[in-house]
Amino acid sequence: MNTLEQIQNFKGKYPKQIWSLFFSEMWERFCFYGMRGMLVFFMIDQLNFEETAANLQYGATQAFVYAFTFVGGLFADKILGFRKSLFWGGILMIVGSLILATDPHQFFFLGIAFTVVGTGFFKPNISTMVGKLYKSDDSRRDAGFSLFYAGINLGALLGGYLCIAIGKGEMLSSVIAEGARWNVAFGLAAIVMVISLINFVFTQRSLGPIGLQPQMMRLDGTYYPIEKWKEYGVYILSLVFVPLIMVMVAKTEYTDYFMWTIGPLVLIYLFYEMSKVNAAERKKLWAALIFILFSILFWGIYEQSGGSLSIFAAKNLNKDLFGLDPNGVNNSAGAFFIIFLAPLIGLLWIWLSKRKIEPNTVIKFGLGFIFLGLGYYVLFATRLFADLQGVTSLNIFTIALLVITLGELCLSPIGLSIMTKLSTEKLQGMMMGLWFLASAYGQYVAGIIGANLATAKEGSTNYDALIAYTDGYKQLGIYAVIAGVLLILISPIVKKLMQDVK
């Protein structure tokens, strides 16, 4: 078995174990984004939901998915360890997608609820393990997370495209009977999740001690294993959550209550944990919290892609980019750009670090916001290319997505990386969960912003919609730039809190 020393003393740009995590996460994201891409369409087309109800329930599932990462991270730290959490989460995701594959019409919310809890156990903990491949002062860590992020998006792109295409019968319709298309589409999510777990099981040996179950310390300083009943208790508890989530997703007002309570509760718990660490560690956790809070704003603006931007794409964009469908471009261009740009930007960080001019994390975050803001400004500028019907250029829109993606790459993988650097050893999973909980709030905020943008009045023309949306995007762009500048201005304070961490 590799020792931690041997793993972390790797030569070259990336530790070789990263590929195991890369592929497991890639297939998990295939499953996740594959399902996510089918939800709204399936609810409207197959379950006869009203459009608003479908969108609200979709938003609820997204909020719960990311909220459960906190629970998954917490239990990984305290009881299961990262590997068992990942495995348990993967099993739940497989069960969820198999339920959907069997009878998606009858068991829709049951399958979704399993997937929600499963993702909570899988997603934060695999990310934390990437961080464990590096020594605390290794400057190649951000590059590793950028590579890992490319894997995330490769899975997202493939799953997001293939599952819905099969379900709708746009692909393989000659070999799959019409009545079985949705079963096959959800079944595909189950199959790739099995691949993800098999890949993990066969490669986990190379991870040495990384992700093993934590041990308890006796008063005399010796260790003993966690009691089995606690481990089984977590498994049972997570199953108890399944029916609860089913109820909460079905009645979306519960999502509001949930979102209003979970955040404060989690913060109180964080402050309790912070009271138990030393002053230097506490400062780092404060810095982590600042990054987490800023990321809520980032995702709130960024996540317009699933909401208002998809309506904008349908109504206001032409096909001047190779005749491609504007909604298809809106759904997939971000992931497409990331697959190519993420490894390059990772190498750029390494190159800059060798020359001692790599920007630190606060500045990278600031840049993330500024790119996001510029991207939204380009979205605003699409109105300058519009015809009298309010239809404008998909090319310009795609450039906006490219700029937004550059922002994402300065913030999202870097955020994963900084969580692993700023957390104390015993709080790694929980802090990663908190990072994703911010995404849950981001999704939530994005829904509210999107709904406000979409208040186009009865009888308004396409051109009015163009003006209303692009005005909104300009506002969002300005907020993003302000946040970026603010971050750069407060960077000396945050850097002080971070101490030796870059």
The span from the CA of 272 to the CA of 386, in Å, is: 54
Counting residues that bind ligand GLN (by CB under 6 A) gives 6
428 binds ligand GLN (CB under 6 A): no
64 binds ligand GLN (CB under 6 A): no
CB of 107 to ligand GLN, least distance (A): 25
439 binds ligand GLN (CB under 6 A): yes
The sign of the dihedral angle between the CA atoms of 224, 228, 230, 235 is positive
Tokens matching residue 343: 């490894």
CB of 354 to ligand GLN, least distance (A): 28
The span from the CA of 36 to the CA of 18, in Å, is: 26
Q: Considering beta carbons, is residue 211 or 334 the nearer one to ligand GLN?
A: 334
CB 269 within 8 A of CB 290: no
298 binds ligand GLN (CB under 6 A): no
Strand partners, 225: 215
Nearest CA to 486 among 285, 290, 345, 303?
Answer: 290
332 binds ligand GLN (CB under 6 A): no
CB of 172 to ligand GLN, least distance (A): 26
115 binds ligand GLN (CB under 6 A): no
The span from the CA of 410 to the CA of 39, in Å, is: 29
The site map against ligand GLN for 144-183 (x = CB under 6 A) is --------x-------------------------------
434 binds ligand GLN (CB under 6 A): no
CB of 313 to ligand GLN, least distance (A): 19
In the list 61, 412, 424, 428, the residue contacting ligand GLN (rule: CB under 6 A) is 412
The span from the CA of 436 to the CA of 73, in Å, is: 10
Which residue has its beta carbon closest to ligand GLN?
439
Q: Considering beta carbons, is residue 238 or 295 the nearer one to ligand GLN?
A: 295
189 binds ligand GLN (CB under 6 A): no
CB 64 within 8 A of CB 262: no
One DSSP character per residue, 357-392 reads ----HHHHHHHHHHHHHHHHHHHHHGGGG--TTS-B
Q: Considering beta carbons, is residue 63 or 386 the nearer one to ligand GLN?
A: 63
Nearest CA to 321 among 267, 402, 436?
Answer: 402
What is the phi-psi region of residue 501: left when phi exceeds 0, alpha when psi lies from -120 to 50, beta otherwise? beta
Considering only residues 13-42, where is the footprint of ligand GLN by CB under 6 A? Answer: 29
62 binds ligand GLN (CB under 6 A): no
Strand partners, 223: 217
119 binds ligand GLN (CB under 6 A): no
In the list 23, 299, 365, 397, the residue contacting ligand GLN (rule: CB under 6 A) is 299
331 binds ligand GLN (CB under 6 A): no
The span from the CA of 420 to the CA of 431, in Å, is: 8
CB of 439 to ligand GLN, least distance (A): 3
Site residues, ligand GLN (CB under 6 A): 29, 152, 299, 412, 436, 439
